[in-house]
Each structure stands twice: as C-alpha cells, then as structure tokens.
C-alpha cells in the first residue's frame, strides 16, 4: 500500500478522522484510534456478496443529532460520490446497528440510508483502488461524508494517511455481483459466522447449545481480542445451503465469510489467524 505502510506507526498516535457510527456515550475511548497492527493479506480480501434478507434491526427510519434519516427500501441502482471516512479501535467489538459485532479487520462499512446489509463497491477516485464491503452499520453522521469504512477497507483503499477520501459508492447487483465489481467468482471454501463477542465463555455456551450436526463443525476464531463462532469451512457450493439451514435454526444474522488458508486450530479449539 503505497504510503500507508510507511505512515502507519505515526498514525496510531493521531485521532482517527472517521466518525462514530453510533453517537452514544457507551464506549471506553473518548476518541477513535488506529489499531497496533496492519491487516493481513487474508483480511484484505473483499467481502463476498451473497443474497441476504434485511436485518431485523437497523432498518427503520431514525433521528440522530436532530436530523431525520429515511432508510432506503432497496439498494438497486444506488450510486453516489462523496467522501469516505473510517472507524477503528473505539468501536471494535461493539454492536453495529444491525446487531452484529464490529470487527475493524473485516470488510464492512456504515451508511446512513442503505438497507442493512447491503454489499457495495467503494472506489477511491484519487487512485482508482476499490474494495467490496458489507454495510452492516449506521453512519457517518458528519456532513459531506457518505460512508464510514472499516480500518481494513480504508487500508486497502490507501486512505489512512489522509483519513478521508473522495470515493464512488455503488450497490452491487446480486444477480451478477462479482462481474460488476471486476472480479472472478470465488471457488474456495467458506465459513458461516454465527456470532462474535469479546466474551469467549459466552460463545462456548452458544456452541454447546447448537444441534449436533452443527456443533461438529463449529470452531471459535480469535482476532485481536474478538472471538467469532464459525461453522466449517465448507466448499462454496455447500455454503449457501448451510447458511440457509443455520438461519432457519435460529441464527437469522449468520453470514458467509471466505475461509482463510492459514487458519489452524489451537489445543483448546480456538482457531488462530
């Protein structure tokens, strides 16, 4: 990443320009900050667009700082240019607007009006770098900013040094998702992520309550203090059916994640990335 790697360690002492995707006072940090490491190559892989129902949370019209926001019924045809920001440590491990846990090393984003979740392609217009992210949060609540990116997504767009970037945001047509994003369809394996939490014991309890067929393929991954309960990995052609089975089993917020090839299981059953 051009200048980002060289400037990174000076950035961690500077306040993140990105804005809160939830303006409440429930966070331990007063200001946002950059993490202490860069994303790995596996974490820089684009989100993989798959059809998903709208989340039961985060899809109603709402008000923030006295401004009303009307959530779009659908994202088809959405294209907008404006400024992107990013958010990091302050929000890592906290709930997003649709009830998932924010992971600053995942390819996710916050938007004020798009349905949750929506997959979008974000292009940095200053260097033509692009990334595919899954919108699962609300924000940014600052004028002239149209999207708040995860730390990993911002790094991939080479915008960490400036904090913001002039971007184009395009909703992905899920009938031909990867073609519209300029990529080839993935053929590797996938995990199904059920839930993420900083409380490993909580995930162990959830795992114990899973049906036997799911428990046998369940593992817990650890990433910078955030634990994820995942199933698999399974081949791509099986992952869609497994996702539907999991959602029907009481996990409507489950989603598909491309499996990393360097994930190994620790003796306690926790996978290390």
- pLDDT tens per residue across span 225-254: 788 899 888 877 677 778 877 887 778 888
Write down the pLDDT at residue 236. 75
Distances (CA, A) of 90 to 26, 80, 102, 103, 192: 10, 27, 10, 11, 26
- At residue 109, does pLDDT exceed 80? yes
- At residue 187, does pLDDT exceed 90? no
Pick the range with the lowest mean pLDDT from 65-74, 144-153, 201-210: 201-210
Indicate the pTM of the whole model.
0.61
Write down the pLDDT at residue 18. 38
Write down the pLDDT at residue 89. 67
Say if residues 105 and 43 touch (Cβ distance below 8 Å): yes
Average pLDDT, the chain: 78
- Token pair for 152: 């990993």
HSE-CB at 11 with a 13 A cutoff on CA atoms is: 26
Say if residues 146 and 111 touch (Cβ distance below 8 Å): yes
């Amino acid at each position: 990443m051009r200048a980002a790697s060289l400037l990174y360690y000076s950035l961690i002492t500077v306040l993140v320009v990105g804005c809160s995707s939830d303006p409440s006072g429930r966070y331990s940090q007063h200001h946002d900050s950059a993490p202490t490491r860069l994303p790995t190559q596996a974490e820089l892989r684009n989100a993989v667009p798959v059809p998903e129902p709208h989340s039961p949370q985060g899809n109603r019209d709402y008000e923030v700082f006295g401004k009303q926001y009307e959530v779009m019924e659908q994202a088809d045809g959405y294209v907008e240019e404006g400024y992107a920001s990013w958010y990091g440590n302050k929000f890592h491990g906290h709930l997003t607007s649709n009830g998932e846990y924010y992971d600053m090393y995942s390819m996710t984003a916050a938007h004020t009006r798009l349905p949750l979740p929506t997959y979008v392609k974000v292009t940095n217009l200053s260097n033509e770098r692009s990334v595919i992210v899954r919108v699962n949060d609300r924000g940014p609540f600052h004028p002239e900013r149209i999207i708040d990116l995860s730390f990993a997504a911002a790094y991939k767009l080479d915008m960490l040094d400036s904090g913001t970037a002039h971007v184009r945001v395009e909703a992905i047509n899920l009938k031909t998702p990867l073609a519209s994003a300029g990529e080839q369809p993935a053929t590797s394996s996938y995990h199904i992520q059920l839930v993420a939490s900083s409380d490993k014991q909580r995930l162990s309890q959830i795992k114990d309550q899973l049906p036997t067929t799911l428990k046998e393929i369940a593992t817990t991954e650890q990433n910078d203090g955030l634990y994820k309960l995942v199933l698999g990995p399974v081949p791509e052609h099986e992952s869609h059916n497994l996702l539907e089975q999991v959602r029907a089993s009481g996990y409507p917020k489950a989603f598909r994640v491309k499996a990393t090839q360097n994930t190994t299981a620790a003796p306690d059953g926790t996978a290390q990335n």
